[in-house]
């Protein structure tokens, strides 16, 4: 299989590496030619200097996967692809798009006899090594066309990816996934802050989080990452207590309101992120550290510390 990847940043670049190592030919384009050159040199990716060149290096039915920022940038690329591709070709949006945008884009491309798949993608900076969890929405024929790539990107060919429904369902499922993630992270951060606050017990947070990883009901990948980070540094003195929200938590809370479904944990976790942007506190430092650990998201450092 040969496909194109447009957007070779933190996620798109690692996904391209995994695809190439799994035997999928990838034509790659990024606005930064240095990234294109690096992946071509290190992994054997087929370089493209433009979207037009990337499409030209594919054979019908063409598969073009976008890993771009949600919103205007993704829409601009889809508009351009709509003019470049032929009936039966497939566009995949693997970014964190709003599912309502995906519904609209699916209709836009369907009017041109083009296929569209919205692929909710989870795995962060660890996906290259461990594989990605892929929540895929689209027509059955579109998913079948994409399946060889999904089997390589996932943790195993037979698990870690699923066709969850029609166009829009992939990004909707990923949106809810991220809302749940907000609640889990908030609960861990609050509980660990309570342990730390009982100073007379002198509880070692690194010891306890490592303990909980084995046999505990709360064991999870988030806990694994938290334990590893606390083993290095429990005080987190150089981490500012500022936790960003990337948008999907907001969309999940808005969906709960639209459906009239109570979602107090997710909604409050979102509100706590808002509070962190003006406040102080150890739980917010823990949340910022967790986001960096699983997704490579930027940690805001206190003045005098390193930003990353």
Catalytic positions: 174, 181
Helix (H, G, I), strand (E, B) or coil at 268: helix
Is 245 in contact with 273 (CB distance < 8 Å)?
yes
Quote the CA–CA distance of 144 and 159 in Å, as a whole number.
15
Strand order in the sheet with 115-122: 46-47, 25-29, 2-6, 63-66, 90-93, 115-122, 133-137, 161-165
What distances in angstroms separate CA 211 from CA 27, 214, 221, 222, 238, one per listed residue? 45, 6, 14, 14, 26
**Cis previous bond, 61, omega within 30:** yes
Handedness of CA 82, 85, 89, 94 (dihedral sign): negative
Quote the CA–CA distance of 297 and 22 in Å, as a whole number.
27
């Amino acid at each position: 299989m040969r496909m194109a990847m447009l957007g070779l940043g933190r996620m798109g670049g690692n996904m391209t590496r995994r695809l190439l190592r799994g035997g999928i030919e990838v034509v790659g384009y990024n606005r930064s030619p240095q990234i294109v050159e690096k992946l071509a040199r290190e992994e054997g990716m087929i370089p493209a200097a433009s979207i037009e060149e990337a499409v030209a290096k594919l054979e019908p039915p063409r598969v073009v996967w976008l890993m771009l920022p949600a919103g205007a940038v993704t829409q601009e690329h889809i508009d351009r692809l709509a003019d470049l591709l032929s009936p039966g070709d497939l566009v995949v949006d693997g970014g964190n798009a709003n599912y309502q945008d995906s519904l609209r884009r699916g209709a836009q491309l369907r009017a041109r006899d083009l296929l569209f798949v919205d692929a909710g993608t989870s795995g962060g900076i660890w996906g290259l090594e461990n594989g990605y969890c892929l929540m895929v929405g689209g027509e059955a024929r579109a998913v079948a066309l994409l399946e060889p790539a999904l089997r390589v990107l996932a943790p195993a060919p037979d698990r870690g990816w699923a066709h969850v429904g029609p166009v829009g369902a992939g990004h909707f499922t990923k949106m809810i996934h991220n809302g749940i993630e907000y609640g889990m992270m908030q609960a861990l951060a609050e509980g660990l802050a309570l342990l730390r606050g009982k100073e007379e017990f002198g509880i070692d947070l690194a010891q306890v989080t490592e303990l909980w990883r084995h046999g505990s009901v709360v064991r999870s990948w988030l806990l694994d990452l938290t334990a590893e980070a606390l083993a290095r540094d429990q005080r987190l003195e150089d981490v500012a207590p500022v936790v960003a929200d990337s948008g999907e938590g907001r969309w999940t809370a808005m969906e709960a309101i639209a459906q009239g479904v109570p979602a107090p944990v997710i909604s409050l976790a979102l509100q706590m992120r808002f509070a962190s942007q003006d406040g102080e506190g150890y739980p917010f430092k823990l949340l910022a550290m967790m986001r960096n650990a699983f997704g490579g998201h930027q940690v805001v450092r206190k003045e005098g510390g390193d930003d990353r």
